[in-house]
Amino acid sequence: MSSKPSSSQIDIAAARLRSLAMATPDGELLGSEDDVIGSLGVSRITARQAARLLEREGVLTVKRGKHGGYFAARPSGDMIETVVCSYMNTLGLSTKHTGMVATSLWIEALREAAGAERAAALAMVDELSPLFEDLDPEATLEEVSKLEQRMRAAVFKLIDGAYIDLIFRINAAFARQRLTGWTEQLDADLHRRFVRKWKAAKLMELEGIADGNVLQAVTAAMHERSLWVGRGGGKWKDEPAVERVIAENSLR
């Protein structure tokens, strides 16, 4: 009768299996269970426990039966958001802190974007600027949000910021779950002011990136984030909170 494997044995097997899975294209077969056991040089029970760990991570799929085996997989961003947000909720975390992290991330992303390679930065600005310039003052919150997401994706691509993108998405998803203010309908005049100020802040961000002006890009990012913070609380007013945001995220 096989002895129960130790945690260290399972961890070592999982590390080896993870390397195999990550080196194999998504969805492709690593091999049958016997093949994998042979590659790892471990017992069947150790291989299966290691495989369970990786299935939970989303980097492995185990299929039983005639056409079964161990297949490489990749966790989706949506799956990560859901799992992490659920865990954050169990911890009773405050959106105040996740909001501070999101604000800091965006400020740092704009700082780096303003220092990015000029040709790539200018190409991004040339693509996005007309979209913001043509934004209708009557644009809905959904239209504004889509444009925000488009610029965010472009900036993160420019700075090779996949990690920042992931953390930003998780924090944004958590905020949407906890703050009803994001979707509250503002008075029509207040909404138009919000759109006008947000549009001006985004164009200032883009100008700072195009000119390589870090101070302008970062200051605009602070102002733009303060508008969203206020809008998220359902208490948006026609007054920026730039001074407070600057105090929380001092320039370096």
Question: How far is the C-alpha of 201 from the C-alpha of 217, rounded, in Å?
Answer: 9
pLDDT digits (tens, 9 = 90+) for 61-71: 999 887 889 99
Which pLDDT value is given to residue 246?
Answer: 35
Q: Rounded CA gap, 184 and 162, in Å?
A: 30
pLDDT per residue over 153-163, tens digit each? 999 999 999 99
Of all residues in the chain, what percent carry a pLDDT higher than 90? 55
Enclosing H/E stretch for 71: strand 69-72
Q: Please give the Cα distance from 216 to 106 (Å, whole number).
A: 14
Backbone angles phi, psi at 29, to 5 degrees: -75, 130
Q: Please identify every stretch of the chain with a pLDDT value under 70, giving residue numbers as ranges.
A: 1-5, 178-186, 232-252
pLDDT for res 2:
52
Integer CA distances (angstroms), 56 to 30, 52, 60, 61, 62, in order: 17, 6, 8, 9, 11
CB 29 within 8 A of CB 70: yes
List the chain domain ranges.
7-72, 77-248
Secondary structure of residue 84 in the 3-state scheme: helix
**Domain 7-72 class?**
mainly alpha
Please check whether residue 104 is in contact with residue 225, taking contact to mean a CB–CB distance below 8 angstroms: no
- The per-residue pLDDT for 97 is 81
